[in-house]
Amino acid sequence: MTKRPIASLAVLALALPAAGSAAMPGAQSWEIGPVIRGKNYSQGMPAAPYPTRGGGWAFDFPAPDAAAGHVHYVTFDPGSLRGKSRLVVRYRIDAAPGTRFVPQQYPDRTATVALYMQRRGDSWTAKGAYRYYRWYAPVATMNALAPGEAEMIVRLDDPDWSSVMADRASTHRAAMDVALDDMGRIGLVFGSAGGRGHGVFATRPARFTLLSFEIR
């Protein structure tokens, strides 16, 4: 991955179009959260990312420590995913030299970004049927946060998707199919292994730019 100085961030955001972004909703359709019972868990963050030329979007990581905030979920409402087969996501991270990305809950672990889906009407309790409302992409598809461009490709029929209670899709396929039919949120979660959406901050100025988000 190619490192880029922080001074070039604004220029890059304007100059590089987002490939395959025609079907991607605009920045105003995305939510930085999650917002649960009126509380936004992405502290120190705006309600939505800001648009970049070409249809993508970007946000700046809170820095230089957890007191500045942390980003957890960045999602949108895709509607039903019935008949869809995979997610293909491209993004870029620009950061000042020496920047570290730190999970706010588990600061000793590697900071990651992963794909996530949530059935409409989730109570966020993970109790009863709600244990099958939130689904996280297979561990093998998670990416460590680092400067440069990266891609994540995940099949929706991958048996290693897991629910919030670690139920694998391989043994709970019917529950995941119901969620796909009634999908309410999809997007990116920032955290670490064991706490994928539990928040990340940076130790120096850093920016996340979504280049494309395709549901095929």
- Cα distances from 118 to residues 64, 100, 183, in angstroms, run 31, 29, 6
- Give the pair of three-digit tokens for residue 176: 């995941």
CB 143 within 8 A of CB 150: yes
Contact 198/191 with Cβ under 8 angstroms?
Answer: yes
Contacts of 120 (CB under 8 A, 6+ apart): 182, 183, 184
pLDDT at 5: 38
How far is residue 205 from each of residues 20, 49, 212, measured CA to CA in Å?
28, 16, 23
Instruction: Report the C-alpha gap between 54 and 14 in whole angstroms.
Output: 8
- DSSP reduced 3-state for 193: coil
pLDDT for res 23: 62
User: For the chain, percent helix, then strand, then coil, each to nearest 5?
Assistant: 15, 35, 50
* Contact (Cβ atoms closer than 8 angstroms) between residue 148 and residue 93: yes
Amino acid at 214: E
Q: Which of 132, 137, 119, 110 is nearest to 191 (CA)?
A: 110
Q: What pTM value is reported for the model?
A: 0.88
Which residue has tokens 């420590």?
65
Torsion, CA 85, CA 143, CA 68, CA 56, rounded to 10: -50
What pLDDT score was predicted for residue 18? 38
The residue with tokens 């946000």 is: 59
Residues β-bridged to residue 50: 58
DSSP 169-184: TTT-HHHHHHHHHTEE
pLDDT of 79-131, one tens digit each? Answer: 999 999 999 999 999 999 999 999 999 999 999 999 999 999 999 999 999 99
pLDDT-flagged residues of the chain (< 50): 1-22
Residues counted in the chain: 216
What residues are paired with 101 via a beta bridge?
202
